Structure 1
Amino acid sequence: MLHRSGTGGPAVVLLPGSGLVGLDYLNLHDRIAELTTSVLYDRAGTGWSDPAELPRSAAEVTDELRDLLTVAGVPEPYLLAGHSLGGAYARHFAQRFPDAVAGLLLLDPFHEDMVTRAPRRVLDLLAEMKSRELPEPSREQLDAARGQLLAFFEAWPDDVRVPLAEHHLGSWRTAWQEDGNLYDEVSAELRSGPGLPDVPTIVLSAMGRDAVQAHLWPEDLLREINDGKRALHAELAASVPRGEHRVLEDAGHGWLHEERPDAVLQAVTDLLASN
């Protein structure tokens, strides 16, 4: 699924985080489309795109994205805005197709060294999580989640709000599946690739409270994880000549584009002005 709005270039292509889909960024997309061409899409195996076996390699995902944009007639180069796992894919796209990239906006991106430099407790807890079978939610849990999602998506258009909430209720395993090769195959692809091209790059770190992460990690450990993330993001920004690191203390990982759309739009505006 691809949705394109606006005119001009470079086109901003939004790469969703794991467990999210293009329509989760619709409000941001509409505001970007006032500035330039904006593109939302769902990776194969996610959202309203064709089914695919998950997980997939970063090479498969980036090949698919370039082919999709070519078939849709979206001209290169692109300003890639990748969130979380989408940030890893944006980086790999830039590693493989540097001439097709006009800039990078990395929204609290996954970094391949997050686990290797994490406290031992993180590795132990990750191993424990991966060893568990995901339980099926009860009818009561689904009804409660539906109400929470509908309230959260209150700002979305009426014809999107309910289908988007229902999609998330039916696809909650997708993030778990898509992340299945994150710490080995995808991380290895990022490490073995060349450095990022010399294009304007902004890395946004979300350091505020995130409800999902607060549920997964003890408070003291989450502070250590976030401290490590901040350092890695700073290093990533410093690895390119025109890189900049910006920290958002009041936005969480999963929905920083909704909690601080002003900061994301400012970053997009600054990157467009650099081209």
Structure 2
Amino acid sequence: MNSIGTNKEEFFINVKDFKLHVNLFGKKTNKPTVVMEAGYGDYSEVWKEIAPEIAKITQVVLYDRAGLGKSEKSSNQRTSDQMVNELKELLTNMEIDPPYILVGHSFGGVNMRLYATEYPNEVNGLVLIDSTHEDYRDRFLPTMSVEFQDAYKKQFIYEGNYDEFMFSLELVKEKRSKLDVPLVVISAGKKAHYSTHSQELWNEMQQELLSISSKGEFIIAKNSAHYIQNDEPMVVIDAIKRLLV
């Protein structure tokens, strides 16, 4: 292994009328830059097990979305179209040119899917880690207990509200188009509080996400709950590495 992964820079970048906090790992190589997007209410810290390893191969961009981590708040709505627009401006202002490998966890996967759809010529690969399916509310949520559904709706206080989140799912469904890039979908095989039926349905819906690309690979992380990057980091690391070959 070389020493690229020991390089890390931390700084703020102006985007629109606010500043986003960025962690930049590694140095630019002849391989695509890897851009990682955390889930709802999360920030760059969730990638602490992943980024240093990938940075041994290529440059890695981690950032905190507006209002999260160390980033300032945005006056824009907290919907995927706004977030993708902000990420696009961030990468432009950082002068980090495409192509990119996009990695998204949970809601971050929704944003990365939308980015790949809006800017297909900039994307060389996509990794979705237990990403939210666009039909989550209609097909999956009703299979869970009333208590689970109630708790799910009440969680939307950190970054956008429930309606904004659901708007984002509708948006990615509306914009859905066939991508011609390698796609890896990683599904958590040991979800907390899920019945056998719910777990099977979750994995089934995750596998359906393969249809957004003509070049897909499906992985079930059998020993992982929702945060696969914490429970089985090597599954995520190896998936990203395969797209960098």
In the alignment, structure 2 segments of 5+ residues that lack a partner are: 1-20
1:228 and 1:209, CA in 2 relative to 1: closer, same or farther beyond 3 A? closer
Contact 2:189 2:223 in 1 (8 A): yes
The TM-score with structure 1 as length reference comes to 0.74
> Aligned with 1:27: secondary structure?
coil
Alignment of 1:37-76 (within 5 A): 37-52=59-74, 56-76=78-98
C-alpha deviation, 1:183, in angstroms: 5.4
**Structure-to-structure mapping, 1:19-38, within 5 angstroms:** 19-38=41-60
CA distance 1:66–1:228, shift in 2 (3 Å): same
**What is the rounded CA distance, in whole Å, between the counterparts of 2:175 and 2:244 in structure 1?**
26
The answer (yes or no) to whether the contact 2:141–2:149 under 8 Å persists in 1 is: no
Q: Give the structure 2 partner of residue 200 of structure 1.
A: 182
Partner of 1:2: 22
Mapped to 1, the partners of 2:198 and 2:77 lie a distance apart of 24
Contact 2:134 2:173 in 1 (8 A): yes
**1:128 and 2:128 equivalent?**
no
SS in structure 2 at match of 1:24 = helix
State how far apart, in whole Å, the 2-side matches of 1:74 and 1:123 are: 45
Q: Which residue of 2 aligns with 1:257?
A: 229
- Residues 140, 202 of structure 2: 8 Å contact kept: no
- Name the aligned partner's letter for residue 59 of structure 2: T
User: 2:197 is matched with which residue: 224, 229, 252?
Assistant: 224
Deviations 1:130-155 (A, max 9, x none): 776x8xxxxxxxxxxxxxxxxxxxxx
1:88 is aligned, of 91, 110, 120, to: 110
| Displacement after TM superposition at 1:232 (Å) | 1.4
- Larger RCO of the pair (alpha carbons < 8 Å, separation 6+): 1
Q: Which has the higher helix share?
A: 1
Distance in structure 1 (CA, Å) of the matches to 2:209 and 2:77 = 25
Sort the Cα spacing of 1:131 and 1:239 in 2 relative to 1 into closer, same or farther, 3 A. Answer: closer
The ranges of structure 1 where at least 4 consecutive aligned residues each deviate by more than 6 angstroms after the TM superposition are: none
> What displacement does 1:194 show?
3.6
The aligned counterpart of 1:151 is none
Q: Measure, in 1, the Cα distance between the counterparts of 2:198 and 2:72.
A: 35
Q: Which runs of 5+ in 1 are unaligned?
A: 135-171
What is the TM-score of this pair, normalised by structure 2? 0.83
- Could you tell me how far apart the structure 1 residues matched to 2:145 and 2:118 are? 30
Q: Measure how far apart 1:44 and its partner are.
A: 0.5
How many residues get paired?
223
| Structural RMSD (CA) | 2.3
The one-letter code of the counterpart of 1:26 is K
Q: Is 1:233 aligned with 2:206?
A: yes
Identity value in percent: 27
